[in-house]
Copies of this chain bind each other. A is one copy, B any other.
Amino acid sequence: MNEAQVEKEFLEYVKKMSAYNEALGLVYWDLRTGAPKQGVDQRSEVIGMLSSEVFKMSTSEEMAAYIANLSKQELPETTRKILEECKKEYDRNKKIPAEEYKEFVILQSRAENVWEEAKEKADFALFSPYLEKLVAMTKQFVSYWGYEENKYNVLLDMYEPGMTIEVLDGVFDKLKDKIIPLVKKIADSDNKPKTDFLFEAFTKEKQRDFSLEILAKMGYNFNAGRLDETVHPFAIGLNPGDVRVTTKYDENDFRTAVFGTIHEGGHALYEQNIAKDLIGTPLCTGTSTGIHESQSLFYENIVGRSLPFWKNNYGLLKTFANGQFDQVDIMDFYRAINESKPSFIRIEADELTYPLHVIIRYEIEKGLFNDEIEVADLPTIWNDMYEQYLGIRPENDAQGVLQDVHWAGGSFGYFPSYVLGYMYAAQFKHKMIEDIPNFDQLLVEGNLLPIKEWLTKNIHQYGKMKKPLELLKDITGEGLNAKYLIDYLYEKYGEVYQLT
């Protein structure tokens, strides 16, 4: 077989894996948006079968031969990057026995369903055995893979290539140094925003209608997506022509759905705008969870919680709301939606305290994987840390350790991405306003398309063609720098709380 023929076959092989992953993505979306309960056990089998097939393909002798064979060739850039991804996956997966991996995938799916019930009943004990098994199996996987200094680094690297405890400890310390005193200063401030009007009744249907309008303004393409309801919101890119957003509604706090939808919409814009020639390859997705999160947090916080954005949208909001904002000045509204106050639920936390929520999870995961923490002790440890970092103690496990789906899905090492994304977002914004100096004015006019175009041109289109730090360097000319986030937070909260 000649060289071009091998490359062509390899790309066909990869396309098949992508197709299976797309089917799996649809199964997951369906399970989280309305699949009938009694079909779930059998559906878990389906997930197990398909995942184990993809797993087998990623570790097959055929794959080994492609890697060996093509590594010696001069390849077009795209094929070379695809091969790199496959090799990384191969090296990572080859060491796990196929049966164990399949068991893990079935466990994940069951665990997510048990977690849902446990959360509803606020009963960690229901979920605990599943989490123990997930942690134990993940540790076993890390030992199969091998590690140098710290087991947890292996997990971090899965989501953010090159990330380590050493780096994170450093960045997170800087953030804590600056955030904790600012949180305290705000707590001591007499200048607190009024917020009562935020919690007045706002029907689900009207929240949905408003959210749909905002998604459209952001440039979300409804011919390539849809909005559904779920318990724990997510966005999922099945292919760039089918990127779905999900949200949840709280009729006594419209912010859950509105900012949640903007957040997931940010993820969705990334996936909708990946270059079409990457379809059917492993490069057709965001380059890392941190960069992905930079897109959602950029839209949610830097755009969605800004004063210029609401200058454009406050009137529109009033047309959907129930009169509760009619007597509220826009400045009071802006201050209200940016209230900073320690709270229990990460995804509802304000921008300032948010990093502390993440740092708690990071430290717990680090402890679990270094055998310093037992799963059974998690509710107490969790609650103790909330008390220590944020000064508040959850009343039950639903508002504590059970709040996030991540661990039920077997995702350990994922949480730090949120704060990385936050730092990336602030750093991108700093560069963006050099290119788009009328950024604020565009928001006031409701013209968000130049912002989407900038992000597509600099980030979205590349999918996984560029690594996170390569992307950051190409755009901003420097490495990761926590300064931009800290500056942004000090400027914003200085304004909101009129600090001197």
Q: How many chain-A residues does the 8 Å CB contact rule pick out?
A: 40
Q: Which segment, of A17-25, A385-393, A490-498, faces chain B?
A: A17-25
Closest to A46 in B: B19
A84 is an interface residue with CB less than 8 A from chain B: no
User: Is residue A35 contacting chain B, with contact meaning CB distance below 8 A?
Assistant: yes
Q: In the complex, how many angstroms separate the beta carbon of A399 from the nearest chain B beta carbon?
A: 28
Closest residue on chain B to residue A50 by CB atoms? B23
Q: Are A280 and B37 in contact (CB under 8 A)?
A: no
Instruction: Say whether, besides A23-B50, A26-B26, A41 and B241 are in contact (CB < 8 Å).
Output: yes
Q: Determine if A224 and B38 form an interchain contact, defined as CB atoms under 8 angstroms apart.
A: yes
Does A327 have its Cβ within 8 Å of any Cβ on chain B?
Answer: no
Cα A238 to Cα B36 with chains together (Å): 11
CB of B242 within 8 A of CB of A35, answer: yes
Q: Does A95 have its Cβ within 8 Å of any Cβ on chain B?
A: no
Query: A40 and B280: CB pair below 8 A?
Result: no
Residue of B nearest to A16 (CB): B49
Q: Is the CB of A26 within 8 A of B30?
A: yes
Q: Is the interface of A mostly helix, strand, loop or mixed?
A: helix
Against B, the Cβ 8 Å flags (1 = close, 0 = not) of A167-190 are 000000000000000000000000
CB distance from A309 to the nearest CB of B (A): 26
Q: For window 34-59 of chain A, which residues contact chain B by CB distance below 8 Å?
A: 34-43, 45-46, 48-50
Q: Mark A240-261, 1 if CB is under 8 A from B, else 0.
A: 1111100000000000000000
A42 touching B30 by the CB < 8 A rule?
A: no
Contacts of A454 in B (CB 8 A): none
Task: Supply 10 further A-B pairs (C-beta < 8 A) apart from A15-B45, A37-B224.
Answer: A19-B50, A20-B50, A23-B27, A34-B226, A36-B226, A38-B221, A38-B224, A38-B242, A43-B238, A43-B242
**Can you give 30 A-B contacts (C-beta < 8 A)?**
A15-B45, A19-B45, A19-B46, A19-B48, A19-B50, A23-B24, A23-B26, A23-B27, A23-B46, A26-B26, A26-B30, A30-B30, A36-B223, A36-B225, A36-B226, A36-B242, A37-B224, A38-B223, A38-B241, A38-B242, A39-B238, A39-B242, A41-B241, A42-B238, A42-B241, A42-B279, A42-B280, A43-B239, A43-B242, A45-B280
Residues of A at the B interface (CB closer than 8 Å) are 15-16, 19-20, 22-24, 26-27, 30, 34-43, 45-46, 48-50, 221-226, 238-244, 279-280
